[in-house]
Amino acid sequence: MTTAIHTEDLHVYFEKNHALKGVNMDIEMNKITAIIGPSGCGKSTFIRCINRMNDLIPGCTVKGKVMVDGEDVNDDDVDVVDVRKRIGMVFQKPNPFPKSIYENVAYGPRLHGVAETIDGKVRRRKHTKKELDEIVEHSIRRAALWDEVKDRLDKSGTSLSGGQQQRLCIARTLAVGPEIILFDEPCSALDPIATAKIEDLLVDLKKDYTVVIVTHSMQQASRISDRTAFFYLGDLIEMGDTKQIFEKPSKELTEQYITGRMG
Amino acid sequence: MALKLRKEKGRRLRKNKHLPPREKAIQLALNIATWTSIVALAAVFGELMLGALPAFSSINIIDFFTGTVWNPSHPMYPLYGVVPLFVGTMMVSFGAALIAIPIGLGCSIWLAELASPRVKAVFKPAVEILAGIPSVIFGFFALVILSEWISVVFDPVTKLNALNGAIMLAVMMIPIMVTVAEDAMNAVPRNLREASLALGATRWETIRHVVVPASLSGVVAAIVLAFGRAVGETMTVLMATGNATLLHFDFLRSVQTMTAAIAIDFGEVEFGSDHYHVLFLVGLVLFVMTFIINFLADWVIRRYREEY
Amino acid sequence: MMLSRKATEVAVFSLFRGCAVLVVLALLVLVGYIATGGLERLSIEFLTDMPRRANTQGGIFPAIVGTFYLMLIVLSISVPIGVMSAIYLVEYQQNSLMGRVFRLAVYNLAGVPSIVYGLLGLGIFVAYLGLGFSLISAGLTLSIMTLPLMISSAREAIAAVPSTVREASYALGATKWQTIWHHVLPYALPGIFTGIILSVSRAAGETAPLMLTGVAMSLQRLPDSFFDSFMALPYHVFYMATQSSNLLATRPIQYATALVLLLLVLGMNLFAIVLRKRYRDKYRW
């Protein structure tokens, strides 16, 4: 088991509100880790620490370490753009850009360019059309969307159904080539059939990516995740193999939540 | 104690005929008040037509629209070519647009995306105040101060020229642009920006590739609306541009706009004379121009509004 | 490419900040010059004296009075009509064809150039209705001119009242008008008030319509009725700066008059802005 993400004494404050209280957690590579807990327990806040999306919230302070690949994501000399290239995020409400399907997926790679080593120096250059086309097709295929959109890549991303839009957002994230993908309640705005498609997709994705998914559905967590972490009021209460958490939770709070007596 | 059920006659709020008389009367009064706007608009158009119509028979209309000399007060051979006035209007308006568009866009982006809430709270009122300053004050400033600065920098033949008007108009246009464009950018949902940033884009890349394209219809409408205001502006150009009616395209020479021509000439015109009617004709042309420009702005918003 | 992405961002953002600075600078320069130029001539006498010696001496009292009378007329005409129209548009005609027609009319009225309103005033009020070159002609013209602005502000204020308030009222059995009068208007009132102030201040600053409906260059007495001739601040600035007998000598008077107008309009605008902020803070929906 290799660790993809390691957090150490992670605290988050929104002005005076202490939203995350000293979280220590290890997230394993190529596994699906589910983060569950009642509303307001800090699940979204936690994963937004990993790709530094909390930077966007005024009045938010982050203390502690979030180690990815040996480096602290919050370090002063770490380029946040690079962090987000390697750690992607899919949001709760599908948010395709009002551009064509092709452009949605090509957006990320186009910005970052291609890294090449010439004479020992790393340079970036623009993609060729062929390279972009390949990336777009590969990403959409991987997101299990290709057959549905291959004939209308020039149509607007917003013309798709909710479930398709969310898969488009996943394709968009894949196109950038991350190692870790964070999902913030990706199915809460979708119907059960679309949800099932995405859950299948997630199980497929874990072969190549580390998946962290925040979900308010315990059924979803127990269906697809390998490891589960239970948060309550900003604290990480318990974390372990999904089977163990749902069958034999060791903390009482966990058991209360799982059996529905709380949250 | 039995409850007295109020048998109110009109419970259905939609159809007027089922309403109690008081509600009906109020609705009627409100309806009539609202008709004022339509009546006013019709009156504007009607009055312009009425005033301009006699001109169609008394002067050569082709000469009006194509004539390059505007000299209505000539005692023997008055000439009513509107082209110099039209060119004057276009010069100052386009000149103003050239200056106002980049600065206005920069301001809007800064306001919508970059400014901190504290700074915003000062800047937005400042823009509103600028928008509320009467045009005669801008005209006065252009007449007395700005023209001197232009003299120093450009050494023109006359200090009251098209450039003077264009710069002052630009300052007047910017608040309008900023207000409308900023609204359009603010309307772009936050999660689109987040999605872009989460893909590793910088803030500028997000603004350039996501926010601006998504709000483009609003931004274009802002530009068109501001341009329409510039075309219809009277006092500023009246005081700033020198009001010479020769046809030319030199920004450092004096021009007269259509609006200024109407304002100035009315002081000396005779009621019911040809000149009088031609001025109404100029007003009609102005009205049609601004009507089309406003229609365009509205159409752009309607047609190209992004579905988020 | 990484470095230049960041560098581009820094450069571009500085440029944008520069634009904002330019705009604030323009405002400060404008107000600054008018203020410094006009302060020396500003005094109680200047505000309360009648003009003397063809406007080269004395005060601008009639112009101030004229402007106030005009604001009064605009207040009494465009406010009731504007607010009533706004109520009608928001509460009764939100989604109908007629509503769209009305809104289009208001939108187009807002875009009509001020000098064209002058032509309207001249043709209809001065000539056709026979009101002559008088306060009432000018006032009526200005009222129509500010109507679109009044309607827009009032509409915004009324539409901002959340529909839940209305639903609650209807659910209790209130009629439409009762709901509007007791539940919508009270909450919309601060916003409407702000709109009134902004509209009236706009009317106070207009010159072009006045030029065609009878504003006078110099009067030795105040108007004794609405059918009388009048002076007005904005026109006085224009006249003194472009046509008065001795342009250079009367420069201080020009500046001072401009300053008085500026203070009047700025004062009203600032008042409206402060009012709106307090109202927003109070009613966070």
| CB-CB neighbors (< 8 A) of C5 in chain A | 81, 111
Q: Which fold has domain B79-304?
A: MetI-like fold (1.10.3720)
* Residue A139 domain flag: no
Q: For residue B11, what pLDDT is reported?
A: 42
Q: CA-CA distance, B278 to B263, in Å (whole number)?
A: 13
Q: What is the pLDDT of residues C1-30, one digit of tens each?
A: 445 788 889 999 999 999 999 999 999 999
Contacts of C108 (CB under 8 A, 6+ apart): B41, B291, B294
Alpha-carbon gap: A260 to the closest alpha carbon of chain B (Å): 32
On whether any CB of chain B is under 8 Å from the CB of A53, the answer is yes
**Partner-chain contact B283 C176, CB within 8 Å:** no
Contact status, residue B107 vs residue B183, Cβ threshold 8 Å: no
Contact status, residue A41 vs residue A215, Cβ threshold 8 Å: no
* Residue A108 domain flag: no
Alpha-carbon gap: C6 to the closest alpha carbon of chain A (Å): 10
Expressed in percent and rounded to 5, the helix, strand and coil fractions of chain A are 40, 30, 30
Q: Which two tokens stand for residue B241?
A: 């541009």
Average pLDDT, whole number, for chain A?
A: 91
List the domain range (segments joined by +) for residue A193: 3-92+162-258
| CB-CB neighbors (< 8 A) of A111 in chain C | 5
Measured on CA atoms in the order B6, B8, B12, B13, is the torsion positive or negative? negative
On whether any CB of chain C is under 8 Å from the CB of A150, the answer is no
* Residue C32 binned pLDDT confidence (cut-offs 50, 70, 90): very high
Please check the confidence at residue A257 and state whether its pLDDT lies above 80.
yes
Q: What is the pLDDT of residues B170-225, one digit of tens each?
A: 999 999 999 999 999 999 999 999 999 999 999 999 999 999 999 998 999 999 99
Interface of C with B in 217-236 (CB under 8 A): 234-235
Which residues share a beta bridge with B80?
B70
Closest CA to B232 of C116, A46, C82: C116
What does the domain layout of chain B look like in residue ranges?
79-304
Please check the confidence at residue C44 and state whether its pLDDT lies above 90.
no
Alpha-carbon gap: C285 to the closest alpha carbon of chain A (Å): 22
Question: Cα-Cα-Cα-Cα dihedral of B50, B53, B54, B58, to 10°?
Answer: 160
Q: Taking the mean position of all CA atoms in its chain, how far away is CA A237?
A: 21
Q: Crossing angle, helix A162-175 and helix A129-142, to 10 degrees?
A: 130
| CB-CB neighbors (< 8 A) of C8 in chain B | 204
Average pLDDT, whole number, for chain C?
A: 89
Q: Which residue type occupies B199?
A: L
| Complex ipTM more than 0.95, yes or no | no
Helices (H), B188-240: 190-198, 203-206, 212-214, 216-232, 235-240
Which chains pack against A, by 3+ Cβ pairs within 8 A? Answer: B, C
Q: What is the mean pLDDT of residues A157-175?
A: 93
Q: CA-CA distance, B251 to B91, in Å (whole number)?
A: 8
Alpha-carbon gap: A172 to the closest alpha carbon of chain B (Å): 8
* Residue A169 domain flag: yes
Buried/exposed code over B161-183 (b: 16+ C-beta within 10 A; e: otherwise): bbbbbbbbbbbbbbbbbbbbbbe
What is the CATH classification number for the domain harbouring A238?
3.40.50.300
| Closest in A56, A99, A172 to B197, CB measured | A56
Q: How many CB atoms lie within 10 A of CB A156?
A: 17
Interface of B with C in 198-227 (CB under 8 A): 202-205, 225
**Partner-chain contact B214 A85, CB within 8 Å:** no
Q: How many CB atoms lie within 10 A of CB B264?
A: 18
* Residue B274 binned pLDDT confidence (cut-offs 50, 70, 90): confident
Which residues share a beta bridge with A87?
A180
Q: For residue B12, what pLDDT is reported?
A: 38
Q: What is the pLDDT of residues C49-89, one digit of tens each?
A: 888 877 777 788 999 999 999 999 999 999 999 999 999 99
Q: CA-CA distance, B124 to C273, in Å (whole number)?
A: 10
What is the helix (H) or strand (E) element at residue A230, kind and residue range?
A: strand A227-232
**Partner-chain contact A82 C2, CB within 8 Å:** yes
**Partner-chain contact B201 A97, CB within 8 Å:** no
Q: Which two tokens stand for residue A161?
A: 């159904």
* Residue A111 domain flag: no
Q: Among A111, A156, A165, pick the best mutation site for testing chain B contact (most B Cβ within 10 A).
A: A111
Domains along chain C with CATH numbers: 61-282 (1.10.3720.10)
Q: Mind giving me the DSSP string for C220-248?
A: SS--SSTTS-B--HHHHHHHHHHTSS-TT
Average pLDDT, whole number, for chain B?
A: 89
Searching chain B, which residue's CA lies closest to the CA of residue A86? B200
Contact status, residue C219 vs residue C230, Cβ threshold 8 Å: yes
Could you give phi then psi for residue A155, rounded to 5 degrees? -80, 160
- DSSP strand E in chain B: where? 70-71, 79-80
| CB-CB neighbors (< 8 A) of A108 in chain C | none
What's the structural domain count of chain A? 1
On whether any CB of chain C is under 8 Å from the CB of A82, the answer is yes
Interface of B with A in 184-223 (CB under 8 A): 189, 191-192, 194-202, 205, 209-210, 213-214
On whether any CB of chain C is under 8 Å from the CB of B43, the answer is yes
Closest CA to C226 of C162, C134, C113, C123: C134
Buried/exposed code over B75-91 (b: 16+ C-beta within 10 A; e: otherwise): eeebbbbbebbbbbbbb
DSSP B20: -
| Closest in C108, C151, C176 to B291, CB measured | C108
| Closest in C16, C17, C241 to B144, CB measured | C241
Q: Which residue type occupies C89?
A: L
Closest CA to A169 of B189, B200, B199, B211: B199
Q: CA-CA distance, C220 to A205, in Å (whole number)?
A: 88
**Partner-chain contact C254 B144, CB within 8 Å:** yes
| Closest in A85, A91, A98 to B307, CB measured | A98
Please check the confidence at residue C107 and state whether its pLDDT lies above 50.
yes
On whether any CB of chain C is under 8 Å from the CB of B38, the answer is yes
Q: Could you tell me whether strands C57-58 and A60-68 are parallel, antiparallel, or unpaired per DSSP bridges?
A: unpaired
Q: For residue C118, what pLDDT is reported?
A: 93
Region label for A120, one of left (φ > 0), alpha (ψ between -120 and 50) or beta (otherwise): left
* Residue A180 domain flag: yes
Q: What is the mean pLDDT of residues C223-237?
A: 90
Q: Among A49, A53, A95, A174, pick the best mutation site for testing chain B contact (most B Cβ within 10 A).
A: A95
Q: What is the mean pLDDT of residues C246-269?
A: 91
Could you identify the residue written with the tokens 């207009």?
A: C206
Which chains pack against B, by 3+ Cβ pairs within 8 A? Answer: A, C
* Residue A114 domain flag: no
Interface of B with C in 98-157 (CB under 8 A): 102-107, 109-111, 114-115, 123, 125-130, 132-141, 143-145
* Residue A32 domain flag: yes
* Residue A188 domain flag: yes
Measured on CA atoms in the order C248, C253, C256, C262, is the torsion positive or negative? negative
Which chains pack against C, by 3+ Cβ pairs within 8 A? Answer: A, B
Please check the confidence at residue B5 and state whether its pLDDT lies above 50.
no
Q: What is the pLDDT of residues C137-191, one digit of tens each?
A: 999 999 999 999 999 999 999 998 888 888 888 888 788 888 899 889 988 998 8
Distances (CA, A) of B259 to A36, B156, B280, C71: 68, 24, 11, 24
Q: What is the mean pLDDT of residues B86-99?
A: 96
**Partner-chain contact C1 A82, CB within 8 Å:** no
Q: What is the mean pLDDT of residues C200-214?
A: 93
